[in-house]
Amino acid sequence: MHAAVVVFPGSNCDRDLAVALERAGARVSMVWHKDTAMPDGVDLIGVPGGFSFGDYLRCGAIAANSPICSAVKNHADRGGYVLGVCNGFQILTETRVLPGTLLRNAGLKYICRAVPLTVVTTDSAFTSGYDAGQTITVPIAHHDGNYHADAETLRALAAEDRIAFRYGDNPNGSADDIAGILSPNRRVLGMMPHPERMAETAHGGTDGAAMFAGLVQHLEHA
């Protein structure tokens, strides 16, 4: 399985995401934001966490208009797999690859701590390694993670089983406790928590590892 991890100025989880994918057995290429195309044969694009372009204007807004994001959008439009974590989720909403947006946390504070998440659906390559309803512990580290979408979008996300993860204790005010959502074809996942920071025992837990293992297994046999 060949994965590409996009690097923007201000990305800071790009290495972690690459290591998590490599440990799960993927071959990983790092791709610069000024590149205009993905390497040949990329199965999965990782859009990492961080503070791309200093969060200027809106989180993810400037990254969403960088040259590489046209390639990310094309990959998603062609049915390719994309994982956006934290700032990566914000970028995927700004490119409109995923619906809704991430507002400032309801409590206005930057929150950095491990939180309980409920795995809502196992019907995706990202979540097939978990049990439905399972509670996992994954860290969040964000100031703007308050998921917002109009009522119709929220209804569609629930009705189509596209809510991947919900917060156990909703730390940021997200609508419907949403921590991560899937695209209609279930091949794009955006989530605020960081599975790559909970992927080996030295991290204090390995609840994120099943996502990378599941992705590699699914895409190796795709």
List residues binding another protein (CB under 8 A): 57-58, 61-62, 65, 93-94, 99-101, 103-108, 146, 148-150, 173
Which pair of structure tokens corresponds to residue 163?
A: 């809510």
By C-beta, is 149 or 164 nearer to another protein? 149
Cβ 153 vs Cβ 109: under 8 Å? no
Min dist CB 12 to another protein, Å, is 23
From the candidates 33, 194, 203, 218, which is the catalytic residue?
A: 194
Give the closest residue to 189 by CA, choosing from 170, 162, 149, 216.
162
- Catalytic-residue membership of 86: yes
- Which residue in this structure is represented by tokens 């990566």? 88
Please state the closest distance from residue 192 (CB atom) to another protein, in A.
16
Looking at the Cβ atoms of 58 and 166, the one nearer to another protein is: 58
User: Least distance from C-beta 65 to another protein, angstroms?
Assistant: 6
**Can you spell out the DSSP letters for 59-102?**
TTTTGGGSHHHHHHHHHHHTT-EEEEETHHHHHHHHTTSSSSEE
Q: Which of 86, 94, 203, 218 is catalytic?
A: 86
Confirm whether 143 is a catalytic residue: no
Taking the least distance from each CB to another protein, the nearer of 28 and 62 is 62
Residue 221 annotated among the catalytic residues of the structure? no
The residue written with tokens 């209609």 in the block is: 184
Cβ neighbours of residue 9 under 8 Å, at least 6 residues apart? Answer: 33, 52, 53
Minimum distance of another protein from residue 173's CB (angstroms): 7
Minimum CB distance to another protein smaller for 15 or for 73: 73
Q: Which two tokens stand for residue 152?
A: 């119709």
DSSP code of 161?
Answer: T
Which residue numbers are catalytic?
A: 86, 194, 196
